[in-house]
Amino acid sequence: MERCPEGRMRCDGRFERALARRGYLAVAGLDEAGRGSLFGAVFAAAVILPLDARLPGVRDSKELSPARREELAEEIRCAATAWAVADADAAEIDGVNIYQASRLAMKRAVTRLASPPDFLLVDALRVDLPVPQRALIKGDARSRSIAAASILAKVFRDASMREWDRVYPQYGLSRGKGYGTREHLAALEEFGPTAHHRFTFEPVSRFLPQPQMALGLRMPSGTAEKCQAAR
């Protein structure tokens, strides 16, 4: 893997350009956000960028500040040929596991693109679609379109957590984004899980009686669509 002089992986359009030389001119990058969270949906984004798009600073969303992610997300939406965000909610995660739910969210994002892709570049996964694709290890640090998808997925999921924080302020969702922070774990111990926690995840399952867990596995989806419609 090629690296920049400062040691960071080189994130650019070389994979997309190589595919264009093979005739693939609508390459979509795919990534997800929130796989390790204890609360809420896993989000995924799909982004098709023009080969000549100028997006300096686009790289793995985890390397960017929240403010910079927001700025770049706006630039990505303006520059993209097509983009979409989708989710798989906590009930779906509990029903099929987080790996399969991440793939499902990615599939939904692809099917919601305004124009269909002819090739998929996916961060470390394969998607259940009849489209040529390549899974790139650390793709969000190497491919510009995957990095763009990483940023959109993260920005939309963070927005979702801010909205849920207004409903469940005791869990610190806006600050901790649903992950297992000290504040979140203390709230789980004091108040127990909500209907939107991931019941099969540790330590959430420790605080949930079995009958409540069985009932809670039936919950509505669509968080990503609501966030996307609000933007």
Q: In what order do the strands lie in the sheet with 42-48?
A: 82-88, 42-48, 27-33, 119-123, 133-136
pLDDT tens per residue across span 58-116: 887 888 999 999 999 999 999 999 999 999 999 999 999 999 999 999 999 999 999 99
Q: Which residue has the higher pLDDT, 2 or 39?
A: 39
Q: In angstroms, what CA-CA distances link 36 with 14, 71, 179? A: 30, 25, 7
Is it the case that residue 220 has pLDDT exceeding 80? no
Domain residue extents for the chain: 14-230
C-alpha R_g of the chain = 18
Range 208-212 average pLDDT: 62
- CATH annotation of 14-230: 3.30.420.10
Is it the case that residue 226 has pLDDT exceeding 90? no
- CA 133/CA 202 separation, integer angstroms: 33
Judge if the upstream peptide bond of residue 193 is cis by omega within 30 degrees of 0.
Answer: no
Dihedral of CA atoms 159, 164, 165, 171 in degrees, nearest 10, equals: -120
C-beta neighbour count of 152 within 10 angstroms = 29
Amino acid (one-letter) located at 229: A
